[in-house]
Structure 1
């Protein structure tokens, strides 16, 4: 299925605070999730990231305004004033000391600027504004709690469940999330065996391997894969990137490493730069009946630089799903513009060669943003 929805969304230009380079491939920065009152946040200006002190930094304006505060900027003093009612906070760029109602408070990280945006330590700002903050290591997610709702229902990943305005195929899923649109649930399933395929609600209710411990492992592998796959730079990419990407893949043969290396050569030749994020949704998994489990994942991507609009990402879905042929990477025939952000949902396949207790072994089998997807331009 190819469904292009080139439509205007909320104005958003994401200035990434990091770029996955070859030298950092072994510990590439995965997507850091932020969930506020049960709903996942995709920041309009930039995505959260973890600094060298293992502290989560977020774009200050969006997070503070979500909590009812006003944010300013004083260029002469390089300070960020944050105000809400009688609370006054002043952060200084490059300093780990803040003023809270005139008193100095020391925190364990620093406010910084990156890509023209100001990033601040999430825990300090959130707690100063009266929110509760928790870090979930297995899922690399920060949970912010502003207002408690005793009647609300949440899934195992702390996400708010909704019970109204449901998608047409709501029965296919164990529950419906408040922050996922119906169009994502109603996307067609990948090509599958009609009698052996299983929807998400069946997988979670009948197959023991579909438990939170295993699913967290699968999702982290997908995030690691996405941090490499959707972030390439011809100035820095080398064989360590190829090997790191290959390590996230289902090991059918060493032949794929050859294809990945060929892509690396093409990135250098075609002067390709790509930035992006991949955020898999654990409650939306579909088994195709041929051994693959497709995880519906939200993504954002921008093609920053290239000489020829061809083979810009290492897209591993092929029409016959058997062999590599030059020219089958996409996008080649898609109406994508340079330096424009796109976002949407795509199904990324996980598989394994392990029999028996396979629960923790799933890795990326095939991955495409342009096969069975919904994608739209971010303006």
Structure 2
């Protein structure tokens, strides 16, 4: 059920980036760097250039006046950074929060997209997703998460999945599965059709845990990290003992000593889940990560599989796909208890490449 445009994203810590997904006409928008987010006033802000250009508009930048001109056909818009208003065909339009710059990108309130650019915008609180609609097509098919399903150019293992999404490349579908017990492992098409726990309500909970974990895990700053961060990471995981909290705290100390700063985000795909037969359910996810600062290229991430021989360049975005395990120590109706496994790793079963 859709609710207020300006819902609150999941947050386990006051320092946790409240990133949101943006889906336009059934296809998820993957921003190259700066992500849509919910600010401290619970207002959703989106990078205007990528949204506007996908809607066929041209976006400029006037540094002298700190304005952003946007043009599409007979629509002329002028945004001013730091102001909560814009000129639309010469008429002033007022919003409830200001346009800002962050990470070299201009962010505008979500209302701007609907009221100035003329799109229909909805907010889905359970999944922290913004849905932007610019057109309607009665013949298109969507999954339960509002994503467009495709039926052409299918991956070689399409039968492993309940459907194939238009905005997911075949490379992600065809990536090898993690090590598993062959007689007990199950692909997502089997999981969704035979196991009751695999329903949207449960899967939405799993995705929230994983997104919360990812937002903490891949966003680290030695200047601000503290025990609150450690406790928040620990809370996203299956807690069989307090031993892991001790290891997380050791990593916090190492972040401070090694002056580590990391930016990144993890985007799990709910239709791509694989049961390995040993008790873990792996969620295939897309990720981007940038190592901003460090003294030694060693153990930069809280991850026992962090590669010891691969050297990451500072300030460069890397992206890839990874399988993150979720598990539980509860039997019976285990759906609501599934959380991030203590063995979760970005590098256990993954692909990674330097972004150009």
Fold conserved (TM > 0.5)? Answer: yes
Listed as ranges, the matches of 1:183-202 within 5 Å are 183-202=171-190
User: Which residue does 2:313 correspond to in 1?
Assistant: 337
Does the 8 Å CA contact 2:305/2:347 hold for their aligned counterparts? no
User: Which residue does 1:367 correspond to in 2?
Assistant: 344
Question: Offset at 1:156?
Answer: 0.3
Identify the structure with bigger relative contact order (alpha carbons < 8 Å, sequence gap 6+): 1
Question: Offset at 1:128?
Answer: 1.9
User: Which residue does 2:17 correspond to in 1?
Assistant: 29
1:257 and 2:226 matched: no
1:79 and 2:56 matched: no
User: Which residue does 1:323 correspond to in 2?
Assistant: none
Does the 8 Å CA contact 2:285/2:321 hold for their aligned counterparts? yes
Question: Offset at 1:273?
Answer: 0.8
Secondary structure at the counterpart of residue 278 of structure 1: strand
Partners in 1 of 2:169 and 2:22 — Cα distance?
Answer: 18
Does the 8 Å CA contact 1:309/1:331 hold for their aligned counterparts? no
Q: 1:26 to 1:363 in 2, by over 3 A?
A: farther
Does the 8 Å CA contact 1:250/1:351 hold for their aligned counterparts? yes
Unaligned runs of 5+ in 2: 1-10
Question: Offset at 1:26?
Answer: 4.5
Does the 8 Å CA contact 1:97/1:105 hold for their aligned counterparts? yes
Question: Offset at 1:362?
Answer: 0.7
Listed as ranges, the matches of 1:105-254 within 5 Å are 105-254=93-242
Does the 8 Å CA contact 2:18/2:38 hold for their aligned counterparts? no
Unaligned runs of 5+ in 1: 1-22, 316-327
User: Which residue does 1:321 correspond to in 2?
Assistant: none
- Structure 1 residue ranges (4+ consecutive) displaced by more than 4 angstroms after TM superposition: none
Secondary structure at the counterpart of residue 335 of structure 2: coil
Question: Offset at 1:125?
Answer: 2.6
Does the 8 Å CA contact 2:56/2:72 hold for their aligned counterparts? yes
1:307 and 2:283 matched: no
Partners in 1 of 2:81 and 2:315 — Cα distance?
Answer: 28
After superposition, the CA RMSD in angstroms is 1.5
Question: Offset at 1:120?
Answer: 1.0
Partners in 2 of 1:289 and 1:246 — Cα distance?
Answer: 25
Does the 8 Å CA contact 1:71/1:82 hold for their aligned counterparts? yes
